[in-house]
Amino acid sequence: MSTKAACASGLVTVALVLLVMWAFEVSLERAALLAPVIVVAFGAAAAVLVLWAKVGWESLRRRRRPWLVAGIAASVIGLIAVLSLLGLNLPRE
């Protein structure tokens, strides 16, 4: 392993530990102890994201009108985001 790769991986690990510390309000010692679990969890999440992005891209390429499908999907996501920011709550039974 090169020195550059080792430094980059160390910096990414430190950044992930600090992110978990901030997001979950845990102590530095506890987050550092969980560093291997944090790195594996983020790696697994990134792998799933890449997989689903590839599946979505391939599915979009096979469509007859890919820009229409992408526009509708972006509109639905935007509408959900705007309604969430406005504080719309669905009725509960």
How confident is the model over 1-50, as pLDDT tens digits?
899 999 999 999 999 999 999 999 999 999 999 999 999 999 999 999 99
Indicate whether 92 belongs to any domain.
no
Question: What is the crossing angle of helices 35-61 and 66-85, to 10°?
Answer: 130
Indicate whether 60 belongs to any domain.
yes
Number of domains in the chain: 1
pTM beyond 0.85: no
Q: Which ranges of the chain would DSSP assign to H, the alpha helix? A: 3-24, 28-33, 35-61, 66-85
Q: Which range marks the domain in which residue 51 is found?
A: 3-85
Contact 39, 16 (CB under 8 A): yes
Indicate whether 70 belongs to any domain.
yes
Query: Which DSSP state fits 87?
Result: T
